[in-house]
Structure 1
Amino acid sequence: MKNIFLFCDAGMSTSLLVSKMRNVAEAHNVEVQIQALPFAKSFEIIENGQADCILLGPQVKFLLKDIEGKCKEKNIPLDVINSAHYGTMNGEKVLKQAIKMIRENQNK
């Protein structure tokens, strides 16, 4: 089971996207746990090694540099969700992005 975390300002705006991602994962029998949390929780999640992938909401992409180093230390792939995919709440494309990041990280 892979753990995917989405961080945004308060963790609320990504909740709908997480729901859509979960629906896609369930429909395709992809075993993942997906959570939306406020960015303030990101350091705790990274330090505990709980994440297999971290995605930032476009509204907090300016915080990417703040956690980039910690993610590299823990070998956790990190990226910003595509604004168009976020805006349209395209759970399938965001889930594919996360799975691709996890696979590429495993193949390093």
Structure 2
Amino acid sequence: MKKILLVCAAGMSTSILVNRMKDAAKEKGIEADIFSMPISDIGPVIDEVDIILLGPQVRYQKQNVENLVNGRVPVETIDMQAYGTMDGKAVLNRALELINKS
């Protein structure tokens, strides 16, 4: 099972995207644990996920998150257009692509 973490400022703005990504995973027959949390809370879970996706509003934290994970998992900022349109399928596909590369 793939574990995908979406990170945002307060943990709320990504909940719609998380639900759309879960729907997309179900459609593809992929088992995935997709969840979101505020950037301030990610420390305890970074060793348990396969990828960390940053909401555009916290993209400035990318270097800090990369330092935390120390290369163990991919860290990427969610595409602004996909985030703005809440395109769960596109974000899921990108996450899976990055997980499979690592």
Question: What TM-score, normalized to structure 2?
Answer: 0.96
1:43-90 CA distances to partner (integer Å, 9 max, x unpaired)?
2211xx1110100000000111111122234x1111000000000000
The sequence identity of aligned pairs, in percent, is 38
Partner secondary structure for residue 33 of structure 2: strand
Equivalent positions of 1:47-66 (< 5 A) are 49-66=47-64
Q: Structure 1 counterpart of 2:81, which letter?
A: A
Equivalent positions of 1:72-87 (< 5 A) are 72-73=70-71, 75-87=72-84
- Out of 94, 97, 101, which is 1:100 matched to? 97
Please report the RMSD computed on the Cα atoms of aligned residues, expressed in angstroms.
0.9
Does the 8 Å contact 1:43/1:67 carry over to 2? Answer: no
Tell me the matched-pair count.
102
Runs of 4+ in 1 over 4 A off after TM superposition: none
Could you tell me which runs of 5 or more consecutive residues in structure 1 were left unpaired when the two chains were aligned. none
Question: What TM-score, normalized to structure 1?
Answer: 0.91
